[in-house]
Amino acid sequence: THFGYESVPTAEKQKRVAGVFTSVAGSYDIMNDLMSFGVHRIWKRFAIDLAGVRPGERVLDVAGGTGDLTREFARLAGPRGQVILTDINAAMLNEGRRALADRGVVGVPLVQANAEKLPFAEASFDCITISFGLRNVTDKDAALRSMKRCLKPGGRLLVLEFSKPQSELLGKVYDQYSFRLLPLMGQLVARDADSYRYLAESIRMHPDQETLKGMMQDAGLSRVQVYNMTGGIVAVHRGFRL
């Protein structure tokens, strides 16, 4: 691989991820729009619809960042429901707090926590989501088990994440984009090419559709289904705790 992030030891990876998100927190929302040409909004909308949150439900948004999913869930769960945003990074949580307040979303607790060891009671949520977060987690199997543990029986987990382009041509175009254009945009807009290089590398290293499906099944999730978007550049995996 291009930048050698694959052999980074655990503590080192965690520090690097923390550095990346502390560095990008302030420009996070604008970079998302730029880098995805606004399409991340459509990917998120699809995942939100698939989550099917109903009034009164308890929802946990893991690695919630600036709260794009959280605020929709808060609206859907309504006053009888409860939505919690959790993220490992204090700088991202601050951005999330601000973004939610700006949009008039109230009553959402923000909790600093590692997805690998969620500090919530067993079987306490109807729906858990992790959007563009799992690839940053060091021990993904532990995170999947931890999220499954917090689901009520019948509850669902949705993982929205970059995945593997389904055609070779699209894969090639996408590689050029992510390894050349992305760091350049990061440099120009956020004065931070390295963080966006990490981003491209973390996407490349992330398990593909079938592998992630298997990991979810191994974590004890059932009826796992994969929904590809934009030719497989992004996928939603949904599984249930039965």
Give residues in contact with ligand SAM (CB under 6 A): 17, 21, 63-66, 68, 87-89, 92, 114-116, 131-133, 136-137
Residue 131 labeled ligand binder: yes
CB 83 within 8 A of CB 74: yes
Residue 68 labeled ligand binder: no
Question: Of 132 and 174, which has the nearer Cβ to ligand SAM?
Answer: 132
Residue nearest ligand SAM by beta-carbon distance:
65
How many Cβ atoms sit within 10 Å of the Cβ of residue 8? 14
Question: Of 57 and 116, which has the nearer Cβ to ligand SAM?
Answer: 116
**30: Cβ contacts below 8 Å, ≥ 6 apart:** 189
How many Cβ atoms sit within 10 Å of the Cβ of residue 124? 17
Residue 139 labeled ligand binder: no
DSSP 178: I
Residue 142 labeled ligand binder: no
CB 169 within 8 A of CB 199: no
DSSP 61-81: EET-TT-HHHHHHHHHHTTTS
Residue 87 labeled ligand binder: yes
Question: Of 30 and 242, which has the nearer Cβ to ligand SAM?
Answer: 30
Nearest-approach distance from CB 68 to ligand SAM, in angstroms: 5
Question: Of 94 and 187, which has the nearer Cβ to ligand SAM?
Answer: 94
Token pair in block for residue 56: 């009164």
Which residues are documented as binding site?
66, 87, 114-115, 131
Which residues are documented as binding site for S-adenosyl-L-methionine?
66, 87, 114-115, 131
